[in-house]
Amino acid sequence: MKGIYVLIILVDKNIDVNVGALGKISFKKGLYAYVGSAQNNLEKRVKRHFKKHKRSFWHIDYLLLKTHVKIVKVFYKDAGKAEECRVAEELNRKGAPITGFGSSDCKCKSHLIRIKDYWFLKESMEEMNS
């Protein structure tokens, strides 16, 4: 399977995270959505996000390696990179973007957005059972 995915991430207390080149970012307790794509082996990419022992490579790795941070839901869709950024931009409008996060390679404000809820994603994406 290939496509794009959205990780719904719960941060259960306020934390500061050193996110590589982005530096220290303060995350408020709450829900976040992270948009990514895997144009081959989507399942393997998503599984990697759940691993608590790995070297940090993407911005998202720095956040997900923290205690008090966990993935609570995954949505996916068979689509290309352009759709990844379209979904990210929609989320940027709906929530509070963490500027520059996950968007080093594109023009989006961010690919990680603090959101109030995520059920609206059900209208356009599939839920992944994990």
Rounded to an integer, what distance in angstroms lies between the CA atom of residue 88 and that of residue 21? 21
Q: How many residues bind Zn ion (CB under 5 A)?
A: 5
Question: Among residues 6, 33, 64, 85, which is the contact residue for Zn ion, using CB under 5 A?
Answer: 85
Rounded to an integer, what distance in angstroms lies between the CA atom of residue 23 and that of residue 88? 22
The contact pattern for Zn ion, residues 37-76, with x = CB under 5 A and - = no contact, is ----------------------------------------
Q: How far is CA 118 from CA 33, 62, 74, 101, in A?
A: 8, 22, 10, 19
Least separation, in Å, of the C-beta of 85 and Zn ion?
3
Q: Interface with Zn ion includes 88 (CB under 5 A)?
A: yes
Q: Interface with Zn ion includes 83 (CB under 5 A)?
A: no
Question: Among residues 106, 109, 126, 128, which is the contact residue for Zn ion, using CB under 5 A?
Answer: 106
Least separation, in Å, of the C-beta of 19 and Zn ion?
17
Q: How far is CA 16 from CA 62, 63, 97, 103, in A?
A: 11, 9, 16, 20
Least separation, in Å, of the C-beta of 100 and Zn ion?
11
Q: Interface with Zn ion includes 108 (CB under 5 A)?
A: yes
Residue 119 CB partners (closer than 8 Å, separation 6+):
none
CA 32 to chain centre: 7
Residues forming the site for Zn ion (CB under 5 A): 85, 88, 103, 106, 108
